[in-house]
Amino acid sequence: MDGHTEAAAPLLDVRDLTVKFVSREATVTAVNGATFSLRAGEVLCLLGESGSGKSVTLRALMRLLPKQAQVAGRVELGGQDVLALQGKALGAFRGGEVAMVFQEPMTALDPVYTIGQHLVEMIRRHKGGTKVEARARAIELLDLVKIPSAARRFDAYPHELSGGLRQRAMIAIALSCGPRLLLADEPTTALDATVQIQVLILLRRLQQELGMGTIFVTHDLGVAAEIADRVAVMYAGRVIEEGPVADVLRAPAHPYTAGLLASTVHDQAPDQDIAAIPGSPPDLRRLPGGCSFAPRCGLATEACRQAFPDPVYPAPGRMARCLRVAGVLPGLLREPV
Amino acid sequence: MNERAVVAQGAIPADSEIDGAPAIAVRGYWQSVLRRLRYDWVTIIFGLVVLAIVLAAIAAPLIAPFDPYQQSIVGRLKPFGWRGHPWGTDELGRDMMSRLIYGGRISLVMGLAPVLIATLVGGMLGVIGGFAGRVANTAIMRTMDVFYAFPSILLAVAISGAMGGGMINGIISLSLVFTPAMCRVAETATAQVKNLDYIEAARASGAGTLTIIRHHVLGNVLGPVFIYASSLVSVSILLASGLSFLGLGVQPPEPDWGLMLSTLRQSLYVNPLGCALPGIAIFITSICFNLVSDGVRGAMDVRG
């Protein structure tokens, strides 16, 4: 897993992305200086619990946030400044270069249009062409995502399809204009377990065949292990650990990642309690001064509460923002957190 | 919407190369609405009555047995069947049946025109108010709330009274009465649709605001708006008759049902059944519109 060199220019480069929601009552810092990058053809998993800023990060990448959100930092896709896009360029960028698969396939498809109309609208918007051509392309796409009898499902309404098929249709819509970057916001969370695996395998295969960079948001470590090349763990709006998926899941460098791993169900004895991380995520309106995980961290020292730790690189291709990495890495899983 | 039609017709033969996959019945939206309506005999029967009333109104000169304005001093307030007048005559000796048939024209126009105007104006304002930002929403909806403060009949009476009688003024005043309610329905539906994922998905697909409103908002708001509008038709017919009854709507000698009811009121003891006829006509028309609108509403629910 060490084949990643820093030489190749990244497809996507996100620096110090900060998203604040300002209202009269409070300022919520949903994303607080997230930094990561993605190479072409790579799958990056954004991992974190609810409220860690994963979905907001994704929407910021696509400029989907409402006007009252204040977005700062730098987002570059293939050298293009995403945050500066306006008007027509923004319309071509969304869907053309970056596409998104949503969590809930029932509500993300317009109930009054057929699957085919969704696809045709999208294809003609970005690629032009006649309706006949768009239709042919749409049926090709439905075949590509392994929807059986594609030509008939073309005329089906979203409510006439099962959850798995709907999600496949949504993937077809996302892929229809050959995006360079695919954003997936928990695309398998709403599906049941067997379908989940099928959709994951499909996404993985399509991603490899089409060479798309993919950012995959999930809170499920199992899903991350299944699909990702690299993972970025988010906590309170920051990326606190990043690295190749196998290494991070095997030997987490950040106490939070270690805690997440310890709190998932794997081979524990049936009567044994699952180790939960004590406390709850910080209030995003009043972030603590130092490391935002310090109040819940068993290893925190005085220095942790002074300032947010700078990134350290414990191994090639790995990053963690923690002062205690040196002490954490070996055998942390057995240590009571 | 035009895309739907083209796609439904199928520019390419749809299932030419399909193997033994289970057949999925695929129909257009309106086709499936009609299919559901076919088993709803209540809606069908009352729909036929509405159709009959509409046809009678359109073909009034052909089917009316007499001239609705032709008066007769001797033949006043005659009973059913008197000298070929199937439903008798009114207080000026005019044929009741002819006047009722011609009156259907006015009642239908007074029932449909205000609703149509209110749907267009109120619906547009509502969609704008629901989709645009907080300032536009507040401006539009608070203005509508001012109209809401008055009971609808009082408002219609006040506006008609201020502007004077006549059919056009009646239509204007009823449109003004219905617009705020229509606007509220459209605004609520838009606000609901606006926050759904598929709007965000459309934006994520590169669609501009206008495309989103045209395709995704209107497509989903039209249903509730149409249903509400169809239920307003009967209210509109009733209110229009009420205005005429008070002398604020259609002016004599036009054969309007409300107006007929008002003038025949004085003859109630002479020819009670004849005097009740315009009221019965109003009742049947409005209840038929109501029941048909109910049935269509049920059939139009896509997920039903």
For residue B196, which residues of chain A lie inside 8 Å, CB to CB? 107
Residue A213's DSSP bridge partners are A181
Neighbours of A90 (CB within 10 A): 16
Give yes or no for a contact between B107 and B285, defined as CB atoms under 8 angstroms apart. yes
pLDDT in tens, B54-86: 999 898 888 878 888 888 778 777 778 777 788
Average pLDDT for A5-12: 67
What is the pLDDT, as a whole number, of residue B27? Answer: 55
pLDDT in tens, B13-23: 333 333 333 44
CB contact under 8 A, B4 and A116: no
What is the pLDDT, as a whole number, of residue B18? Answer: 36
Look at chain B and count its residues. Answer: 304
B161 Cβ contact partners less than 8 Å away, ≥ 6 residues apart: B248
CB contact under 8 A, A135 and B15: no
- DSSP codes, chain B: -HHHHHHHH-SS-TTTT--SPPP-----HHHHHHHHHHT-HHHHHHHHHHHHHHHHHHTHHHH-SS-TT---STTTT--TTBTTBTT-B-TTS-BHHHHHHHHHHHHHHHHHHHHHHHHHHHHHHHHHHHHS-HHHHHHHHHHHHHHHTS-HHHHHHHHHHHH-SSHHHHHHHHHHHHHHHHHHHHHHHHHHHHTSHHHHHHHHTT--HHHIIIIIIHHHHHHHHHHHHHHHHHHHHHHHHHHHHTTSSSPTTS--HHHHHHHHGGGTTT-HHHHHHHHHHHHHHHHHHHHHHHHHHHHH-TT-
CB contact under 8 A, B206 and A135: no
Q: Which of A98, A112, A127 should be substituted to probe chain B, the one whose Cβ sees the most B Cβ atoms within 10 Å?
A: A112
pLDDT in tens, A297-316: 888 888 888 888 888 888 88
**Dihedral sign from CA coordinates of B154, B156, B157, B163:** positive
The top-level CATH class assigned to A12-250 is alpha beta
CB contact under 8 A, A116 and B7: yes
Residue A231's DSSP bridge partners are A45, A243
Question: A62 in contact with B at a CB cutoff of 8 Å?
Answer: yes
CB contact under 8 A, A112 and B302: yes
Q: Chain A, 111-150: which have a CB under 8 Å from a chain B CB?
A: 111-114, 116-117, 120-122, 125-126, 131-132, 135-136, 148-149
The residue of chain B with its CA nearest to that of A153 is B24
- Judge whether residue B10 has pLDDT over 60: no
A40 Cβ contact partners less than 8 Å away, ≥ 6 residues apart: A8, A11, A180, A211, A212, A213
What is the pLDDT, as a whole number, of residue B119? Answer: 94
Q: How confident is the model at residue A329 (pLDDT cuts 50, 70, 90)?
A: low
The tokens for B265 are 């009121």
**Dihedral sign from CA coordinates of A116, A122, A127, A131:** positive
Question: A159 in contact with B at a CB cutoff of 8 Å?
Answer: yes
d(C-alpha B142, C-alpha A179), whole Å? 44
Average pLDDT for B77-101: 82
CB contact under 8 A, B215 and A110: yes
Residue A45's DSSP bridge partners are A216, A231
For residue B17, which residues of chain A lie inside 8 Å, CB to CB? 151
**Does residue A317 come out as left (phi exceeding 0), alpha (psi in the -120 to 50 range) or beta?**
left
A14 Cβ contact partners less than 8 Å away, ≥ 6 residues apart: A34, A35, A36, A37, A57, A61, A73, A74, A75, A76
For residue A142, which residues of chain B lie inside 8 Å, CB to CB? none
B282 Cβ contact partners less than 8 Å away, ≥ 6 residues apart: B107, B237, B238, B241, B257, B258, B261
Least confident of A165-179, A271-285, A318-332, B18-32: B18-32
d(C-alpha B56, C-alpha A31), whole Å? 68
Residue found under tokens 């704008």? B128
For residue A92, which residues of chain B lie inside 8 Å, CB to CB? 206
Q: Which of A88, A152, A170 should be substituted to probe chain B, the one whose Cβ sees the most B Cβ atoms within 10 Å?
A: A152
The tokens for A182 are 């695919």
For residue B5, which residues of chain A lie inside 8 Å, CB to CB? none
- Judge whether residue B213 has pLDDT over 70: yes
Please report, rounded to a whole number, the percentage of residues in chain B having pLDDT higher than 90: 19
- Specify the DSSP element, H or E, that contains A150: helix A150-153
Instruction: Tell me how close the Cα of A229 comes to any Cα of chain B, in angstroms.
Output: 25
| Pick from B7, B10, B205: CB nearest A122 | B205
d(C-alpha B193, C-alpha B190), whole Å? 5
The residue of chain A with its CA nearest to that of B8 is A155
Question: A69 in contact with B at a CB cutoff of 8 Å?
Answer: no
For residue A104, which residues of chain B lie inside 8 Å, CB to CB? 197
DSSP assignment, residue A332? G
Q: What is the mean pLDDT of chain A?
A: 84
pLDDT in tens, A114-167: 899 889 988 988 888 888 888 899 999 999 898 888 888 888 888 888 888 999
What is the pLDDT, as a whole number, of residue A182? Answer: 92
**Dihedral sign from CA coordinates of B34, B38, B42, B46:** positive
What is the pLDDT, as a whole number, of residue B163? Answer: 86
Question: A170 in contact with B at a CB cutoff of 8 Å?
Answer: yes
d(C-alpha A312, C-alpha A325), whole Å? 8
| Pick from B6, B16, B21: CB nearest A131 | B6
Least confident of A281-285, A290-294, B3-7: B3-7
Average pLDDT for A25-39: 88
What is the pLDDT, as a whole number, of residue B304? Answer: 38
Neighbours of A225 (CB within 10 A): 15
pLDDT in tens, A210-224: 889 999 998 888 888
Q: Which of A225, A304, A212 has its CA nearest to residue A264? A: A225
CA B224 remoteness from chain centre: 14
Omega of the bond prior to B253 within 30 degrees of 0, cis? yes
Q: How confident is the model at residue A113 (pLDDT cuts 50, 70, 90)?
A: confident
Q: What is the mean pLDDT of chain B?
A: 82
What is the pLDDT, as a whole number, of residue A274? Answer: 73
Instruction: Tell me how close the Cα of A128 comes to any Cα of chain B, in angstroms.
Output: 14
Give the angle subtended at the CA of A55 by the CAs of B203 and A193, to the nearest 5°. Answer: 100
Average pLDDT for A189-210: 87
What is the pLDDT, as a whole number, of residue A288? Answer: 78
pLDDT in tens, A234-274: 998 889 999 999 888 888 888 888 888 888 776 667 777 77
Q: Does the predicted model carry a pTM greater than 0.80?
A: no
Residue A81's DSSP bridge partners are A76
Domain range annotation of chain A: 12-250
DSSP assignment, residue A3? -
The tokens for A10 are 């990244």
Q: Which of A110, A109, A120, A134 has its CA nearest to residue B215? A: A110
DSSP assignment, residue A52? S
CB contact under 8 A, B7 and A151: no
What is the pLDDT, as a whole number, of residue B23? Answer: 40
| Backbone dihedral angles phi then psi of residue B28, each to the nearest 5 degrees | -75, 165
- Judge whether residue A335 has pLDDT over 70: no
The residue of chain B with its CA nearest to that of A104 is B197
ipTM of the modeled complex: 0.74
pLDDT in tens, B119-131: 999 999 999 998 8
The residue of chain B with its CA nearest to that of A148 is B21
Look at chain A and count its residues. Answer: 337
What is the pLDDT, as a whole number, of residue B185? Answer: 92
Instruction: Tell me how close the Cα of B226 comes to any Cα of chain A, in angstroms.
Output: 15
Residues of B with CB under 8 A from a CB of A: 3-4, 6-8, 10-12, 14-19, 21-24, 26, 29, 133, 196-198, 200-208, 211, 215-216, 219-220, 223, 302-303
d(C-alpha A138, C-alpha B291), whole Å? 42
What is the pLDDT, as a whole number, of residue B184? Answer: 92
What is the pLDDT, as a whole number, of residue B12? Answer: 37
| Backbone dihedral angles phi then psi of residue B282, each to the nearest 5 degrees | -60, -45
- Judge whether residue A23 has pLDDT over 60: yes
For residue B24, which residues of chain A lie inside 8 Å, CB to CB? 149, 152-153, 156, 160
**Under DSSP, is residue A120 helix (H, G, I), strand (E, B) or coil?**
helix
Q: How confident is the model at residue B11 (pLDDT cuts 50, 70, 90)?
A: very low
Average pLDDT for B6-12: 38
For residue A91, which residues of chain B lie inside 8 Å, CB to CB? 206-208
Q: How confident is the model at residue A293 (pLDDT cuts 50, 70, 90)?
A: confident
- Judge whether residue B1 has pLDDT over 80: no
d(C-alpha A158, C-alpha A110), whole Å? 8
Give yes or no for a contact between B293 and B230, defined as CB atoms under 8 angstroms apart. yes
